[in-house]
A and B are shown apart, each in its own frame.
Chain A
C-alpha cells in the first residue's frame, strides 16, 4: 500500500515570495490534515479536510495561507507572501475516517524562508 506522498521535499524561497506544497493521501482516506512543525516543537494543526470539505481551519493564518482539496483526493497548501517565521516542516497526514482510525504521515516538506 502506497503511503502519503508529499512534494517537494525541500524548498528555499525569499520572504514575500509564494510557495505551494502538494499532498496525495493514501487511497480511500477521507480525512486529510496539514500540519506545521517548527524546529524543536510538536506539529501544529493548520487545517483538516473531510473529503473536500473543511472541518477545522481555526489555526490557519488565512491572510497568507490557503489550502484546497479539490475532488476530495489530493491537496495543496499555499503561502503567499511568505515570512521568515514560516520556516518549518509542513506535514500532510491522512486517515480513513475522522474518529477511531490510525493517521499516517508523509515525509514532509522542509521550507526555508530567507
Chain B
C-alpha cells in the first residue's frame, strides 16, 4: 500500500530565505509525482508535475526533484515571499491511477 509522508508538518521562515520541502513515498512504482499549493479555504492549485522518468522540473522560483529509487521528492522555493504562505501538498500517481496525498507542509513566510 502506497504511503506518502511530508516533513516538516509546518515551517516558518523570514522573507527572502530559500527553503526545501520534503516528500517521501513507500512504493517506487509510480507514474508521476505532483506538487500542489492550497490556500486557506480554497482548492488545490497544481504547481509542478514530474513524470517518473524525469529528475526535476522548474517553474519560476520553484524547483522540484524526484528520486524514484529512494522514494523521495523535494520542492525548493527560492527567495521566499509572504505570498508563498500556504499549505504545500505532494501526491503520487500509482500504477493503478490513484492519486495519493501526503499530509502537507504548512508554510509561513514572515515579512
Interface of A toward B, CB cutoff 8 Å: 4, 6, 31, 33, 35, 41-45, 48, 50, 55-56, 91, 93, 98-100, 102-108, 110
* Distance A93 CA – B89 CA, assembled complex (angstroms): 15
Give chain B's interface residue range (CB within 8 Å of chain A): 20 to 34
Further pairs besides A56-B97, A103-B91, A105-B45: 5, Cβ < 8 Å: A42-B6, A43-B101, A100-B51, A100-B93, A110-B41
- How many A-B pairs have beta carbons closer than 8 Å: the answer is 62
Residue-wise interface mask of B (79-111) relative to A, using a CB-CB cutoff of 8 A (1 in contact, 0 not):
000000000010101001111111110000000
- Which segment, of B11-19, B31-39, B70-78, faces chain A? B31-39
Binding site of A, secondary structure by majority: helix, strand, loop or mixed? strand
Binding site of B, secondary structure by majority: helix, strand, loop or mixed? strand
Contact for A91 among B34, B43, B100, CB less than 8 A = B43
Is the beta-carbon distance between B43 and A98 smaller than 8 angstroms? no
| Chain B residues within 8 Å of A31, by CB | 97
Is the beta-carbon distance between B42 and A108 smaller than 8 angstroms? yes
The 7 closest A-B CB pairs, nearest first, are A98-B97, A42-B101, A105-B44, A107-B43, A42-B103, A105-B43, A99-B31
Assuming the contacts A43-B89, A45-B98, asked whether A103 and B46 have C-beta atoms less than 8 A apart, the reply is: yes
